[in-house]
Structure 1
Amino acid sequence: MHRLGIVSGTGTARKRTVPALRESDVCRVSVVHGRNAGALRQLADADPGVAVTTDLAEFAARRDEYDVVFVASPPFLHLEHVEFALTLGKPVICEKPLTSDRAAPARIGALVEAAGVPFVVAHQLRHQPAVAQLRSLIQDGELGAVSTASLQWSFWMNHDAPSASWKLDPALGGPNALFDAGVHAVDLALHLFGRPEAVRARGHHARSTRTADTVVATLDYRAFAVTVTASQSAGPALNDLLVTCEHGAVRAPGLLAERSLDHLEILTADGSRRVDHAPVNLYRAEIEDFCRHLDGAAHPGTTLHEAILATEIMFAAQDSIDVGGAPVRIGPAGES
């Protein structure tokens, strides 16, 4: 049984990760750090076996009580918290996106390389059978070569929520909606199709004056294009993935969501078929899969390299927005 120590665990981790791991037989939460003492008391009341602290020094002093560190803070704190976590000599999981600071990815990359510990970025959508099947369909060419694809994650952000204060500040949450829900679509595009050659994007200020809260980005590949749509000001009814190929198409209705996908639709000239999938707790799976990797299983999650590339793509999208949608090149591997 692996033990998880969480840095900045009173936000998303308290709401999702800690409850998700209560029934896990692979990993359990043992220590949680956070700045909100009230939220920590609530967490300790709900999970009496979890030690809580508002002091990072105390969290470090308890390092013998956990085996893996989960950096669950907002992206503008990731550089600071990843640097701290790496000093503990433990494997690290970092919340997505890797960072909202254009200068931070190279620094984080250098720190992780120097530390030499396993490192992954938490993208829960990858950790489900439907995505594994979807990737196999594409890579095995069952439907022929990819012609086009689209991914969308839209939602109606509550501007009164505490997190909105930093999500809508470009210096903290990033300059556009891709850095929020849209990063999931970017990550899936990298997982399914690899590195694009260029990005074109348009952004709109539907309700936010400081950030582009609705973005449509086109990732250009050598023989096809992938459209990524992200919005903090739209309904979620069509948060789907669609891939059209030479001999058919595959649709994942509602894939971009907080719950696992229950079925894929595969369409060909001979008709359509539905492949059902059992439900998965995505927030449990992303942690458990990393722990299994530490025990020798294949690496299932978003690597540091992929997370850095996703950040590059999102900033390239903003650069394209700033110049009216002109293409911005993504350099080959090694130039990011």
Structure 2
Amino acid sequence: MRKTRIAIVGAGLAATPHALALNELNDEVEVAGVVGRSPERLARFASTYGFPVSESFNAVLNDPCIDAVLVLTPPYTHLELVEQVAAARKHVLLEKPLDISMPRAERVVEACRAAGVQLGVVFQNRFRPAVQRLAALVTNGALGPLAYAGVDLRWWRPQSYYDEPGRGTYARDGGGVLMTQAIHSLDILMWLAGEVSSVVAATATTALHSMEAEDFASAALTFESGAAGHLLATTAAYPGFPERIELIGVNGTAVLEGGHLRVFFHDGRVDHFHDPSSSGFGAKPMDFSHTAHRDLLQDFFAAIREDRAPLATGDDALRVQRFIERITNDTGHRQ
């Protein structure tokens, strides 16, 4: 099997788990080069993980031996980068969110569709073992039709996190806790429970943070299936707690807290599954295993070889981003 050759654009905070994962997958992928805006950070990143530094982004685009590009830059840069990568007929794996607004996000997806290249999105939580187990329960009907589906995400980020230039702004990130942190859990929620038909929401910036976008959001939901639901998301809950996803079906209730899944069936059976990996819910955003990133990358490379869609697609990202923008626009938090 020929190795997939991939280039990395961006060597910031999000690049570390990808780098660790790519080195574990070196029997099936080759990192052809890394590009970034900061020469010092780029050199440090490339040296740490043994990756070559590319001459330029244009050199990546013009290299016919590069199959795909992993885009790990801030959200507001995504559209222009993806358009160029897709035009060069290279597959795209993109860090979430797609971009900072729905029109730009839709153009990201359309650029890849028009070019006939795969677009994968870094929703690595889909690959966590407890989430996979929960997804199997829904898919095989073990829980029965859902009556309720909800997310509680009570995380903590100190003010120093938002003091980084552009953090928590609409111009750079496209939003706050919903777009940057809760988007992963909301992706899982909509993946398992389906589209949301109605939302009654509230958002706020609490006294714990000085930032432009929201650090708190809550909503009462109704899904198209008729199931009820709710959302609570914040980065103001010190010291941070594992996120919780709860599904109530006619046959039982499943509660996922971090990597701990408990399922309580009406017939008296109780199923427990525990994955000890964290999700970065406290003051250290990158305090989690790279294993889920490795599995996501492996699925993306397989999708390229097999000419199929990856597990987490651009359309999946559009769905959850449309839901997020609906909340922030309807509550008036995003002007």
TM over 0.5: yes
Matches within 5 A, 1:112-151: 112-151=112-151
Q: CA deviation at 1:275?
A: 3.1
Structure 2 distance, partners of 1:160, 1:253, is 27
Shift in CA distance, 247/190, structure 1 to aligned 2, threshold 3 Å:
same
Greater mean alpha carbon deviation, residues 275-284 or residues 174-183: 275-284
The residue matched to 2:303 in structure 1 has which SS? helix
Structure 2 residue aligned with 1:17: 18
Structure 2 residue aligned with 1:220: 222
What is the percent sequence identity of the aligned residues?
24
Greater mean alpha carbon deviation, residues 39-48 or residues 157-166: 157-166
Residue 37 of structure 1 is aligned with which of 28, 31, 39?
Answer: 39
Q: CA deviation at 1:44?
A: 2.4
Is the 2:33–2:52 Cα contact (8 Å) retained in structure 1?
Answer: yes
The residue matched to 1:166 in structure 2 has which SS? coil
Shift in CA distance, 225/44, structure 1 to aligned 2, threshold 3 Å:
same
Q: CA deviation at 1:32?
A: 0.8
Structure 2 distance, partners of 1:28, 1:213, is 39
Is the 1:153–1:230 Cα contact (8 Å) retained in structure 2?
Answer: yes
Is the 2:159–2:210 Cα contact (8 Å) retained in structure 1?
Answer: no
Count of residue correspondences: 313
Shift in CA distance, 213/162, structure 1 to aligned 2, threshold 3 Å:
closer
Shift in CA distance, 19/247, structure 1 to aligned 2, threshold 3 Å:
same
Residue 242 of structure 1 is aligned with which of 239, 246, 249?
Answer: 246
Shift in CA distance, 29/76, structure 1 to aligned 2, threshold 3 Å:
same
Structure 1 residue aligned with 2:304: 294
Matches within 5 A, 1:34-113: 34-48=36-50, 50-53=51-54, 55-64=56-65, 66-113=66-113
Structure 2: gaps spanning 5 or more residues: 278-289
Shift in CA distance, 244/167, structure 1 to aligned 2, threshold 3 Å:
same
Q: CA deviation at 1:5?
A: 0.7
Structure 1: gaps spanning 5 or more residues: 255-260, 324-336
RMSD: 2.4
The residue matched to 2:188 in structure 1 has which SS? helix
Structure 2 distance, partners of 1:179, 1:16, is 20
| Counterpart residue type for residue 39 of structure 1 | R
Q: CA deviation at 1:290?
A: 0.7
TM-score for both structures, normalised by structure 2: 0.85
| Counterpart residue type for residue 265 of structure 1 | R
Is the 1:150–1:228 Cα contact (8 Å) retained in structure 2?
Answer: yes
Shift in CA distance, 300/91, structure 1 to aligned 2, threshold 3 Å:
closer
Does residue 264 of structure 1 match 2:265?
A: no
The residue matched to 2:264 in structure 1 has which SS? strand
TM-score for both structures, normalised by structure 1: 0.85
